[in-house]
Amino acid sequence: MRQSERRSIRGPLAVGGLVLIALLWAHALQGQVSTGAAGSVANPFVAQKVTCAPTVDGELEPVWKAAPLARIPLDRHSDPAGMALQVELRALYDEHTLFFFAAWEEDAPAFSGSNFRNRFVIHFDQEEPWPGARDFACLVACHTAFSDGSGGLAHMLAETIPQAASGPLPAAGGWSDGQWRLEWSRPLVNDNLFDVQFDDLDASYRFFVKVFEWVEGRADPVSEDLALVFGG
């Protein structure tokens, strides 16, 4: 995905408030681990398998110590150049469910009443069902979290392009003491035909991370590509 496309993700999936979007890149690369909705493992991000799942409450309970910590730099890709902020990201999974925990330092959110605002994105791209399909649709699968405008987490949804019905995701967290902390989960496999499916645990799944700052005239910080892999 081009950097210009990354900077402009405020479309149908980003209507409203605190957004947590998850996007998988779906081009299998020869010689890599994956053969489906997959990507390069040049920058692997490991989800660690656990037998005792975390409680989705926005707190880093002891089970999260099993998850490798990734400190992911985000850049605005504009002047001034250089790292804008750093996101700490963790992932765990069990037999049926994938769990994420994201945290980053930021100033207190400006109160916006009932106007929800996008705050954070993990963006997954989908495979092309046929050559050229991407010319007609974005083929995006997202996890979207909405803030109440003053630092609380209102809700999180699974959203896709093309759109498909999906219920809210278990999620908790918000802003406190200078830091955003967000925890959420989703099934490894669900019944949404347009969503990303983590059905091959030997595959790698490419994604990038983005934080929405909502500063007029300034690009939002975005990471380089990473590859989600499943550890034993």
The mean pLDDT of 100-117, rounded to a whole number, is 83
pTM of the model: 0.81
- Contact present, 85 and 103 (Cβ < 8 Å): no
What is d(CA 1, CA 29) in angstroms, rounded to the nearest whole number?
15
Count the alpha carbons within 13 Å of 9 in the hemisphere toward its beta carbon. Answer: 37
- Provide the pLDDT confidence category of residue 32 given band limits of 50, 70 and 90: very low
Residue 166's pLDDT is: 73
21 pairs with which residues across the strands? none
Please give the residue range of the domain that contains residue 149. Answer: 3-231
Residue 34's pLDDT is: 31
What is d(CA 31, CA 12) in angstroms, rounded to the nearest whole number?
35
Number of folded domains that form the chain = 1
Please determine, for residue 117, whether its predicted confidence score (pLDDT) is greater than 70: yes
180 alpha-carbon distance from chain centroid: 14
**Max Cα–Cα distance, the chain, nearest Å:** 51
Q: Which residue has the higher pLDDT, 198 or 3?
A: 198
Q: Chain-wide mean pLDDT for the chain?
A: 79
List the structure tokens of 66. 């099993």
Please determine, for residue 25, whether its predicted confidence score (pLDDT) is greater than 50: no
- Provide the pLDDT confidence category of residue 114 given band limits of 50, 70 and 90: low
Residue 9's pLDDT is: 45
Q: What digits encode the pLDDT tens for the residues 80-103?
A: 667 889 999 999 999 999 999 999
CB atoms under 10 Å from CB of 37, counted, come to: 24
CATH code of residue 114: 2.60.40.1190
**Which helix H or strand E contains 160, and what residues bound it?**
strand 153-161
Q: Which residue has the higher pLDDT, 129 or 221?
A: 221
Q: Which residue has the higher pLDDT, 230 or 110?
A: 230
Q: What digits encode the pLDDT tens for the residues 145-195?
A: 788 888 899 888 887 877 776 778 999 999 999 999 999 999 999 988 888
Residue 69's pLDDT is: 97
What is d(CA 181, CA 58) in angstroms, rounded to the nearest whole number?
6
Residue 133's pLDDT is: 72
104 alpha-carbon distance from chain centroid: 14
- Provide the pLDDT confidence category of residue 79 given band limits of 50, 70 and 90: low
List the structure tokens of 12. 């149908």
- Contact present, 199 and 188 (Cβ < 8 Å): yes
Residue keyed to tokens 């908790």: 172
Please determine, for residue 13, whether its predicted confidence score (pLDDT) is greater than 90: no
